[in-house]
Chain A
Amino acid sequence: MELGTRKLFNRSFSLVSIAAIVLMALSLVVLLGPIFVKGSSAFVFRGTVEYRMLMLNRFGRGNQAVVEAEKASAEAARKPVLDLIRGFEGEMEQRGPEFRAKYESDFRELKGLVLELFGPSPGEPTPVLLRQQYGQTRWDRSKLKLEGILFVEEYDYSDPTRMGVKVLKPRVERFRGTSMEPLFGDLERGIEEMMRPRLTWYWRFPFDDSYDSHFFGGIWPEMLGTIYLAIGSMLFAVPLGIVTAIYLAEYSGEGHFVSLLRTCISALAGVPSIVFGLFGLAFFINTMKVSQSKSVLAGALTLAILVLPTVIRASEEAIKAVPLTYKEASMSLGASKWRTILTVILPAALPGVLTSIIISMGRAAGETAPIIFTAAVSVGKPLAIWQTLTQPTPALPWNIYNLATEHQAVDEIRHVQYGMVLTLVVLVLLLNLTAIIIRARISKKLRA
């Protein structure tokens, strides 16, 4: 090959490999971008007067006088629309069966939609489900509901060679010539007055209890459950892990037992997470019966075995990285081996060990498969510490799966799903960031 070609090849190779890194960074952006953007809408959004009423009634937040005045003026703005509806109901009674047959189903649909948008009007009985006791609490959903009221989604099936095409027809056409006609214009013009959207910062989202299957409120039960599981698994894994790491680094030679141990540790690291879940169910719950039903304890134990290899490996590296001079100096002063380890080597290795603990905690917080069968439920109250020994808990990873697939009203709570994912991602990334910072400090110290 000619020199020119070789140089060209060299340059294009560099370009291609840099493109690989860029691609990885891009995939990170593509992955986290929608999550951050849509997840932040759980924290920062335009909330309506209904939201402020909910906060006042359920959480006791907000100035009562101000909020109630707002609600009163919103209701005053809604009155014409609701009067039209009530008037039409009376009209249908009067005009007889023919008129009724023509308009009844359309009217009922419209009334249902308006009820969804505004919530129950002052005279009506309170519905039993919390989600129906309030109108739309978010402005973006209010606008969607308004669209649903103003337009009917119909499908045009005229073309037999393809699936129907969505066509939006103005709903006012169905009520042309009746007293309901001006309702649509009134609604469209006055929606801001009726809902009173205002920029809201719901920073308490990770710390509020959830109401009515995550329709309202925050994700505190899941947060607490994840915290319990992460810390619980560390309580079991760290002592075992550090002891094993000490043994591997300090006490052992290169004998058969040690190589067996190392093989087992890396084998344990390679076991699929669902197998850990099955093992946790079969061993901890069914055989050892650490708890009668699923519980945080069983989940923490299962997660502990999952992260054990990581803790061992990273701790061993941290202990090995402590300069030999420390150990020699200590032993030359007459300290026994055990004393040296406890008082000299471990404290010196502490930042590295801490890093491994933090990273493993992040891993334990994010794992789903081990807790499906051992600790996770869809709905539950936040547990007190002593309840963790016997009771299961919701947890962020499991509830993300649950809300994204199983929930009855997936579209209504999209912002909660994204908010949960964002919270989990931020939690894990914060933990990792802390570990990275600690590690940077160690390398600086050890290099100097």
Chain B
Amino acid sequence: MNRFRNVLMCIALAAVLCVTFMPVALFAQATKIVIDGSTTVGPIAKAFAEYYMSKNAGVNITVSESGSGNGAKSLINGTCDIATMSRFMKDEEFKAAVDKGVFPVATVVSVDGIAVIVHPSCPVQGLSVDQVRDIYTGKITNWKDVGGPNVAIVIISRDTNSGTYESFESLVLNKQKISDKAEYVGSNGAVRERVQSTPAAIGYVGLGFVDKTVKALKVNNIMPDEATVTSGSYPIARPLFMFTNGYPKMGSTLYSFLNLYLTPKGQEIVKAIGFVPITKY
């Protein structure tokens, strides 16, 4: 009798498990979009995701922000649908993608200027690109050499998994080495957090991350904002990408999500977040 009851309980447990997990078979094709990549494009992706999910129930969009390089890797491995990147894919990444049968296609969803930020108490108002380079490579170590008080500069940079770092490296550093005194943090938000709490710090973030708690410097006498970035006069500007595996099928969920940036609402979102909307690149 005992054994019979045990067997019955096992069957009941198995039935419960089946019922809980059977929808996997039925709903295995449930619509989801997995987005991975840059912390700069992250806020745009998150806002788009929220807007899209509010207009289309039944779609689950998840956003990770672990770095442009990680996004590329996920796209190549097939573990994400959209890779948000704040830099273009490198040659090796393209090659690896094609080897794996993935054909990356870039969509520019916004333009961004990399703002060089300091603490608001720093008297320096602007620097030239050369000065920024010298600070980051360690040739200039004290604020007094650029017009400030006699305080050692604390350099904040992005970890090397960052597209922002890569863009900064190619646009400003001219391939020189960053000083080994530089502190590394993992995201735009973290750079801002360090700079806003350290009076002697200097850092670089995407334009959407500049707020009242930090001060953006003029670079080559040009203040970064929408006008100077789109016209190209701001020297450190770059497009922000969403990479997909080939062009998404017309009419699919991925297609309508990817083209959100072209809609008026999408442009409003990009602008509200602090980046520069774009319709043609």
Q: Footprint of B on A, CB under 8 Å?
A: 127-130, 132, 148, 153, 155, 157, 159-166, 211-213, 285-286, 292-294, 372, 376-381, 383-387, 389-393, 402, 405-411
Contacts and interface: CB of A to CB of B under 8 A. Distances in A.
A446 B202 CA distance: 63
A399 to B, nearest CB: 11
Contacts of A160: 123, 149
B189 A387 contact: no
Nearest to A383: B60
24 contacts: A127-B268, A127-B272, A163-B119, A163-B123, A164-B120, A212-B47, A292-B78, A293-B34, A293-B74, A293-B79, A378-B46, A380-B62, A386-B20, A386-B24, A387-B60, A391-B34, A406-B39, A406-B65, A406-B186, A406-B187, A406-B190, A408-B188, A408-B189, A408-B209
Nearest to A379: B63
Nearest to B25: A386
Contacts of A390: 24, 28
A107 to B, nearest CB: 17
B42 A211 contact: no
- State the 6 A-B residue pairs at the shortest beta-carbon distance, nearest first: A380-B62, A406-B187, A157-B123, A293-B79, A164-B121, A405-B190
B27 A212 contact: no
A163 B122 contact: yes
Interface stretch (B49-57, B218-226, B235-243, B249-257): B49-57
Contacts, number: 141
Contacts of B123: 155, 157, 160, 163-164
Contacts of B193: 405, 410
Nearest to B39: A406
A163 B187 contact: no
Contacts of B149: 159-163
A168 to B, nearest CB: 13
A164 B122 contact: yes
Interface in B95-133: 119-123
A212 B121 contact: no
A406 B49 contact: no
Interface string B166-195: 000000000000000000011111101100
Contacts of A292: 78-79
Interface of B: 20-24, 27-28, 30, 32, 34, 39, 42-43, 46-47, 49-51, 53, 60-66, 74, 77-80, 119-123, 148-151, 185-190, 192-193, 199-200, 208-209, 211-213, 265, 268-269, 272-274
A315 B22 CA distance: 33
Contact of A129 (B32, B119, B192, B273): B273
Most buried by B among A132, A212, A377, A389: A377
A127 B264 CA distance: 12
A378 B65 contact: yes
A163 B21 contact: no
Contact of A128 (B150, B212, B265): B265
Contacts of B122: 163-164
Given A376-B64, A378-B65, 10 more contacts: A129-B268, A155-B121, A163-B123, A163-B148, A163-B200, A294-B34, A386-B20, A386-B23, A391-B60, A408-B209
A27 B213 CA distance: 31
Contacts of B272: 127-129, 132
A303 to B, nearest CB: 18
Contacts of B66: 372
Contacts of A391: 32, 34, 60, 62
Contacts of B199: 163
A395 to B, nearest CB: 12
Contacts of A383: 60
A213 B24 contact: no
A410 B150 CA distance: 30
Contacts of B28: 390
Contacts of A386: 20-24, 27
A408 B273 contact: yes
B17 to A, nearest CB: 10
B32 A411 contact: no
Q: Which of A164, A372, A391, A393 has the most B CB atoms < 10 Å from its CB? A: A164
Contacts of A130: 50
Nearest to A285: B79
